[in-house]
């Protein structure tokens, strides 16, 4: 026997397809949407359609944008000879928050991950090579996550880029500022020691 209206079950299924949302949570979210005023539910639905319609990838850096070129690529005050390679759009925000970097970005939209069947052709590597191939670029900074897949992706890319006569660098590893030494893991400490600098 069916206890809930079909439309409610359909909405629950839609929520359950989202990453990290299980069946119980999906049901809770669906109930919540039903309890919203008509207008707010309509706003939610139109936000989905509007985002899907207006947002696309910047043809230069592959970041998400609703303009022809994203604001960073469009900005002539930024250094167009440096490209920082990140895995996801949210990493661009993290970098920008540091207010230090003034070059451009390239968003890979993923990392190479053989276990998940994601190879070099499944992320935006081709676009990066084409971009670098057009000359002008002097340095590529790898800023993928410091985990196995992020490192493997950075290594793979640096091998491809090295013959192209430019500097390929990687963000420094080390102990995070404000952290406590006693809680740092061994690998991080090892990297911090290897990367030590004169003061």
| CB atoms near residue 152 (< 10 Å) | 15
Only one of the segments 35-43, 132-140, 146-154, 191-199 lies at the binding site for its own copies (rule: CB under 8 A); that segment is: 35-43
Determine contact, residues 143/168, Cβ cutoff 8 Å: no
Instruction: Spell out the SS3 assignment of 157-169.
Output: HHHHHHHHCCEEE
For residues 50 and 165, which CB has a smaller minimum distance to its own copies in the complex? 50
**Which among 156, 145, 146 has a CA at the least distance from the CA of 114?**
156
Among 6, 130, 172, 199, binds its own copies (CB under 8 A): 6
Determine contact, residues 140/86, Cβ cutoff 8 Å: no
CB of 42 to its own copies, least distance (A): 7
Among 22, 31, 179, 195, binds its own copies (CB under 8 A): 31
- Site track for its own copies across 47-86, x = CB under 8 A: xxxxxxxxx--------xxxx---x---------------
Determine contact, residues 138/82, Cβ cutoff 8 Å: yes
Does 175 interact with its own copies (rule: CB under 8 A)? no
DSSP for 7-38, written as a single string: HHHHHHHHHHTSTT--HHHHHHHHHHHHHS-H
For residues 46 and 148, which CB has a smaller minimum distance to its own copies in the complex? 46
CB of 51 to its own copies, least distance (A): 4
The burial of 141, by beta-carbon neighbours within 10 Å (0-12 exposed, 13-18 middle, 19 or more buried), is given as buried
Count the alpha carbons within 13 Å of 46 in the hemisphere toward its beta carbon: 6
Among 16, 22, 23, 34, binds its own copies (CB under 8 A): 34
For residues 57 and 184, which CB has a smaller minimum distance to its own copies in the complex? 57
Applying CB under 8 A, which residues contact its own copies? Answer: 1-8, 10-11, 13-14, 18-21, 25, 27-34, 36, 38, 41-55, 64-67, 71, 88-90, 92-93, 96
């Amino acid at each position: 026997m069916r206890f809930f209206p079909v439309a409610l079950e359909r909405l629950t299924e839609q929520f359950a397809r989202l990453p990290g949302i299980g069946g119980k949570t999906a049901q809770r979210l669906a109930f919540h949407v039903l309890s919203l005023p008509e207008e707010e539910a309509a706003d939610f639905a139109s936000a989905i359609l509007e985002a899907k319609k207006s947002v696309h990838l910047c043809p230069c850096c592959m970041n998400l944008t609703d303009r022809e070129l994203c604001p960073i690529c469009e900005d002539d005050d930024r250094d167009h000879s440096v490209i920082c390679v990140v895995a996801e759009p949210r990493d661009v925000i993290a970098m920008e928050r540091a207010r230090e970097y003034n070059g451009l970005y390239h968003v890979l939209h993923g990392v190479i991950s053989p276990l998940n069947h994601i190879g070099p052709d499944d992320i935006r590597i081709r676009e990066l090579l084409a971009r670098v191939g057009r000359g002008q670029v002097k340095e590529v900074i790898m800023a993928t996550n410091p985990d196995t897949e992020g490192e493997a992706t950075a290594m793979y890319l640096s091998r491809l880029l090295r013959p192209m006569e430019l500097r390929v660098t990687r963000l420094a590893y080390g102990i995070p500022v404000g952290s406590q030494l006693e809680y740092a893991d061994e690998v991080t400490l090892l990297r911090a020691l290897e990367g030590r600098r004169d003061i």
